[in-house]
Amino acid sequence: MSTLPLETNIPQIPLQRPDGTFATLSDYLGQVVLVVNVASKCGLTPQYAGLESLYKEKREAGLTVLAFPAGNFRDQELDSDTEISAFCTLNYGVSFPIFSKISVAGADQHPLYAGLTHALPQALAADEFVTMMQKHNLHLASEPELLWNFEKFLISRQGEVVGRFAPHIGVEDPRLAQAIEAELAKA
């Protein structure tokens, strides 16, 4: 897996929380970060349970999960941050940070996702995901910025994008689990 540094401005991009306060990726330097674009009405939404389990199991070791709700794919996200937060808490007991709803693709793509997709343009197992979508009669754009909801970016303790995983790769998938473990093992 190639390691590309985040562009210098990426760690400083304001990331709005549902309560109106802001964070940046630089707030998480020293931790391994899994960034996930999420949606509440998607066939992959049950991945919240695995993400929460992973977060609880690995946060003491230095892992955090950051969720970014988005409605870019068939408008599968709820309308308001309040609805999204309530859904995640009530249905999945989510305790990892969930940020305000953003756009992760298209003309209004949030700068965070512009930087992440620029750093790693291709997701691991993208071809598997495209084939799976085609079996469900869903066809993606020829060169999408992001494949779908629940695509994952792994960021090292030093703030480098070290992995990008197709949406169907859940936390139990050895490809993601091993990448996370490898990053956690690094000082």
What is the chain's pLDDT, residue by residue, as a tens digit (187 residues)?
A: 444 444 447 788 999 999 999 999 999 999 999 999 999 999 999 999 999 999 999 999 999 999 999 999 999 999 999 999 999 999 999 999 999 999 999 999 999 999 999 999 999 888 888 888 888 777 666 566 889 999 999 999 999 999 999 999 999 999 999 999 999 999 7
Residue written as token pair 């674009």: 37
CA-to-CA distance for 168 and 58, rounded, in angstroms? 21
40 within 8 A of 68, measured Cβ to Cβ: no
Please tell me what DSSP assigns to residue 168. T
- 3-state SS, residue 33: strand
165 within 8 A of 123, measured Cβ to Cβ: yes
Per the structure block, which two tokens stand in for 116? Answer: 């992440």
Per the structure block, which two tokens stand in for 113? Answer: 């996702």
CA-to-CA distance for 139 and 158, rounded, in angstroms? 36
Which residue is catalytic, options 16, 24, 27, 42? Answer: 42
76 within 8 A of 70, measured Cβ to Cβ: no
Global pTM exceeds 0.85: yes
Question: Quick check: is 88 catalytic?
Answer: no
Whole-Å CA distances, 49 to 17, 54, 88, 182: 21, 9, 10, 22
Name the architecture of domain 4-185.
Answer: 3-Layer(aba) Sandwich (3.40)
